[in-house]
Amino acid sequence: MNRTITKEETDQLFQFCREQNIVHYDLQVELVDHLASAIEEQWEKWPELSFEFALKRAFKKFGHNGFRRIYETRKKELNKKYTRLHFKYFYSFFRWPQILITFILSYLIFNTIILTENFRVVYTIFFAFTIPAMVYFYLFWFPKKGKLEAKNNTKFLLLDVLNMRCKQFWMVLFLPLNVFNFIILDILPKEKWATLPFDDLKVCLIIAAMSFLMVCFGILSYSYSIYASQKIKQHFTQQFPEFVK
């Protein structure tokens, strides 16, 4: 009968990971599984090896700073996974029937700018949505629905990714400001805003493009911060239900 890792030895592997500064439980589980498999493979050939000696040999295979590299790699993989999920949701608004909502919202913003005949309304609309959205997100939504803490203050890499994405929400919201600055200040100089010929085709096309961009950035902000965050929480609950408060 092949020798296998016992419960006590598994606990020692978790302690070993903590001694190597691996503080995230989900990453500890992954590394413990790798170490246990490597140790049991050695026992198949040399069953007389002690647990401590087999552990040292298994750990050497990770190389210098091996655990740290695995941490960085795993973190990047999680970020890529939820970035793909975020863009998948974003792109869904350019397929039927969601694309209809995209164009309706763009048309409403376009008409608002045309009716006011003042290009400053672009900034007014943008900040009218952006500032309240940031306040609501950070003071109400994130503390109540976005933030997630595991039982016993256990650290999880998955939750670190969740918190990082939520903290970066303001960066996503202020991205349109730079784009609008480029379009307005470089293409449509500020001193000409009040005299813009709103019946001119070029001006109308620029306004239409900016209206569409505003809707796109709104969808982008929602998908990045709220939709993807909810998916992370859902996946955490499915993977580690015993740690959900």
**pLDDT tens digits along 169-220:** 656 656 555 555 555 555 555 555 545 555 667 777 877 887 888 788 878 8
Residue predicted with more confidence, 235 or 164: 235
Where helices occur in the chain by DSSP H, the ranges are 7-19, 25-45, 51-60, 66-91, 98-116, 121-136, 157-167, 169-173, 175-181, 201-222, 228-239
Domain ranges of the chain: 7-63, 77-243
Digit-coded pLDDT (tens) for 42-88:
998 888 889 999 899 888 887 767 788 888 888 888 888 888 888 88
- 150 phi/psi in degrees, rounded to 5: -80, 160
Over the chain, what is the mean pLDDT? Answer: 79
Stretch 76-103: mean pLDDT: 86
What are 243's two structure tokens? 């740690």
H-assigned helices in 169-200: 169-173, 175-181
What pLDDT, on a 0 to 100 scale, did the predictor assign at position 13? 93
How far apart CA 152 and CA 140 sit, in angstroms, is: 24
pLDDT at 16: 92
Amino acid 65: pLDDT: 74
CB 208 within 8 A of CB 114: no
What integer pLDDT is reported at residue 158 of this predicted model? 85
pLDDT (0 to 100) of residue 179:
58
pLDDT band with cut points at 50, 70 and 90 for residue 125: low
pTM: 0.72
pLDDT recorded at residue 25: 92
Taken in order 112, 115, 119, 123, the sign of the CA dihedral is negative
Q: Give the Å distances, CA to CA, from 47 to 20, 42, 54, 130.
A: 26, 7, 10, 64
Q: What is the pLDDT of residues 129-140, one digit of tens each?
A: 777 777 777 777
Residue among 90, 184, 175, 174 nearest 131 (CA): 174
What's the pLDDT band for 31 if we cut at 50, 70, 90?
very high
